[in-house]
């Protein structure tokens, strides 16, 4: 498993005030960056969404040297390559070719980890 930082210039605030809106076709995740600018990630379509409290996740699952710099943890949008989660979904979806194009993304927020599987998303500044 490899963990890559997406958009290294976009650092998630340590108190991001995240908001998550979910419908059957779209996920919208809003959060603040370290400069208190508001961003929104729109994931449409998505194949999977998983939200886990930070207490139930090992930092080794999303470790990247770039996130641990200056003696502290920096939050970034991450892409997980060779993801066991994605491999499990592909194995269960033999006839669904679209899942083979999807990638596993992870957002470490303050108290939760948000993960989604999708082949596309967009990020936009909202404020």
Give the contacts of 28 (CB within 8 A, at least 6 positions apart). 19, 20, 21, 22, 40, 41, 42, 43
CB atoms within 10 A of CB 65: 8
> Where are the chain's structural domains?
2-125
Length, in residues, of the chain? 127
Give the contacts of 64 (CB within 8 A, at least 6 positions apart). 3, 4, 5, 76, 78
CA distance 12 to 108: 8
Give the contacts of 74 (CB within 8 A, at least 6 positions apart). 11, 66, 67, 68
Confidence of residue 48 (pLDDT cuts 50, 70, 90): very high
Q: Which of 45-49, 69-73, 89-93, 102-106 has the lowest mean pLDDT?
A: 69-73
**Does 127 or 109 have the greater pLDDT score?**
109
Confidence of residue 100 (pLDDT cuts 50, 70, 90): confident
Predicted confidence at residue 33, as pLDDT, reads 97
Predicted confidence at residue 65, as pLDDT, reads 77
Give the contacts of 122 (CB within 8 A, at least 6 positions apart). 41, 42
DSSP calls for 84-110: HHHHHHHHH-TT-GGGGG-EEEEEE-S
């Amino acid at each position: 498993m490899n963990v890559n930082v997406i958009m290294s210039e976009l650092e998630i605030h340590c108190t991001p005030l995240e908001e998550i809106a979910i419908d059957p076709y779209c996920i919208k995740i809003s959060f603040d960056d370290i400069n208190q600018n508001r961003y929104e990630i729109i994931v449409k379509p998505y194949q999977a969404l998983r939200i886990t409290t930070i207490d139930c996740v090992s930092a080794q699952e999303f470790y990247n040297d770039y996130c641990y710099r200056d003696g502290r943890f920096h939050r970034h949008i991450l892409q997980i390559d060779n993801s066991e989660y994605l491999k499990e979904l592909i194995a269960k979806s033999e006839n669904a070719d679209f899942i083979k194009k999807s990638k596993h993304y992870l957002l470490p927020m303050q108290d939760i980890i948000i993960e989604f599987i999708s082949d596309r998303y967009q990020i936009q500044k909202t404020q």
